[in-house]
Amino acid sequence: MSENISQPPLMSRGMKAVLISQFLSAFADNALLFAILAQFKSALYPEWSQPVLQMVFVLAFILLAPFVGQFADRNPKGRVMLSGNLLKFVGAFLICVGSDPFLGYALVGIGAAVYSPAKYGILGELTDGERLVKANGLMEASTIAAILLGSVIGGLLSDWSIVFALGVCAAMYALAVFVNFGIPKLSAAQIGRGWNIKRMFTQFLEATRTLWTDKESRFSLVGTSMFWGAGVTLRFLLVQWVPIALGMTDNTTPTILNAMVAIGIVVGAGLAAKFVTLKTVRRCMPAGILIGLGVVYFSLQTSIIPSYLILIIIGVFGGFFVVPLNALLQDKGKHSVGAGNAIAVQNLGENTAMLLMLGLFSLVTSIGVSVVAIGIGFGAIFALAIGGLWLWDCTRKKS
C-alpha cells in the first residue's frame, strides 16, 4: 500500500508544465511554417523555395542526430527543453523583424532537434509504471491538438496579417520558455561522462549499424522513413495544389486540408492498436499501398468536400500503416541498442527521407511540372515502393 502511495502522481506540477510547454511549442511549430509560407507567397518567392525551407529545418535533425540524445541525457531534461524553446523563439523573432526566413527557420530546426529527445525522456523521470504509458498518451494528445490548432490558426492569422501571425508564433515560443521554468530541475540521467565528440559519434554509428543489419528493424526503418518522407512532401503538395485544383488562393484552406490528414491519422492509429500486434505487423502493408493510391485519386479532385473526405481516409491508412512499424522498431531497439538509441536512428532515417523527397519535389517544381502531375506521380511511386517493400519482406521470410 505504501509503495503505491509513494509512486509519483501522473498530473504533478512538473508533468502539467511539460504538457503545456509541448502544446505551446508544437502549436508554434505548425503555425510558424504556414505563416512563413504565406510570407513567401506574398513576397512572390518561387514555388520551389517552399520545400527548400523545410529542408533547412530537417537538415538540423540530421546533422545533430548523433549528439542531441546524449546531450539530453547528460543535462536536466527540463533545462534542455528550455534551451530548445529559447532557440525556437530566437529564430521566430528574427523572422518577425525581417531577417532572412531561411536563417531564422534553421535556428527553429536546431531548437526542435535539441528539444525532441528531452520531451519524451523526461516523462520517465516524472512518473513510472503504468502511469508512464498514460503520460505518453497525454503527450501525444497534446501534440496532435497543437498540430491541428496550430496549422489552422496559422493559416487564418496569415490571411489577416502575416506580421501578426509571425508575432503570435514568437510569443508562443516565449510563453513555452516561461512555462519550462515550472519543470523541476531533476538530476541528469548520465552524470560525469565526458564530451568526447568522436566517441559519441562512434556510439551512434554502432547503434545505426546494429539496427540496419537486423532484418526486422531494417524493415521497420525503411517503412517509417518512407511514410514520414511522403507525409512532409504531401504537406507542401497541398499548399501548391489548392490554388491550381480548387482555384482558392487563401492561406487557410491548405491548413485545414492538412488538419484532415492529422484527424485521419488519429483514427488509423486507434484501429491499428485494436487490430494489429507485433506478431501480425504485416497487416499494415496494404494500408501503405492504399496511401499512394489515395494520393493519386486526391490529385484529380476539383471540389473541396470530396478533398476533405479523401484526405481523412488517406490519414486513416497512414495511422494504420505507421503505428505498427513504430512499435516493431521500439521492441527491437529495446532488446538491442536501447529504445532511446533506436528513436535517434529512426529520426535520422526519417529526416534523411524527408530531405531527399523534398529535394526531388523542389526539383520537379522548379522545372515546371504541374502540381497535379506531381501528385499523381508521387502517389503512384509511393504505392509501388510500399508494394516492393512488402514483396521484399515476403521473399525474405520464405528464404
Residue boundaries of the structural domains of the chain: 1-195, 202-399
Task: Dump pLDDT digits (tens) for 71-95.
Answer: 777 788 888 899 999 999 999 999 9
**148 has a pLDDT exceeding 60:** yes
Q: Is domain 202-399 in CATH 1.20.1250.20, yes or no?
A: yes
* pLDDT confidence of residue 329: 79
Give the rounded percent of residues in the chain with a pLDDT score beyond 90: 45
| Residue carrying the nine cell digits 523555395 | 49
**Average pLDDT over every residue of 20-33:** 93
Phi, psi dihedrals of residue 301, rounded to the nearest 5°: -75, 155
223 touches 332 (CB < 8 A)? no
Which amino acid appears at position 384 of this protein? L
Indicate if the pLDDT at residue 45 is higher than 80: yes
Superfamily of domain 1-195 in the CATH hierarchy: MFS general substrate transporter like domains (1.20.1250.20)
pTM for this predicted structure: 0.82
Please give the Cα distance from 41 to 21 (Å, whole number): 30
- What's the mean pLDDT in 210-231? 90
DSSP state of 243: I
Alpha-carbon distance of 363 to 295, in angstroms, equals: 20
Which residue did the predictor score with more confidence, 186 or 29? 29
* The residue to which cell 548523433 is assigned: 66
Residue 3 has pLDDT above 50, yes or no: no
Domains 1-195 and 202-399 share a fold: yes
State residue 129's pLDDT score: 57
* The residue type at 364: V
Supply the DSSP string of 121-140, one letter for each residue: HTHHHH--THHHHHHHHHHH
**For the chain, what is the radius of gyration of the CA atoms?**
21
Give CA–CA dist 399/394, Å, rounded: 9
Mean pLDDT of the region 50-55: 90
Residue 16 makes CB contacts below 8 A (sequence gap 6+) with: 182
How far is Cα 355 from Cα 252, in angstroms, rounded to an integer? Answer: 26
pLDDT in the model for residue 166: 95
Indicate if the pLDDT at residue 200 is higher than 80: no
User: Rounded distance, CA 380 to CA 373, Å?
Assistant: 11
**Residue 240 contacts residue 371 (beta carbons within 8 Å):** yes
> Does the structure show a pLDDT above 70 at 398?
no
Report the pLDDT value the prediction gives residue 144, as an integer from 0 to 100: 81
Q: Which three cell numbers stand for residue 243?
A: 490554388
pLDDT for 88-140, tens place per residue? Answer: 999 999 999 989 999 999 999 999 988 887 877 777 777 765 566 567 667 77
DSSP E strands, 119-264: none
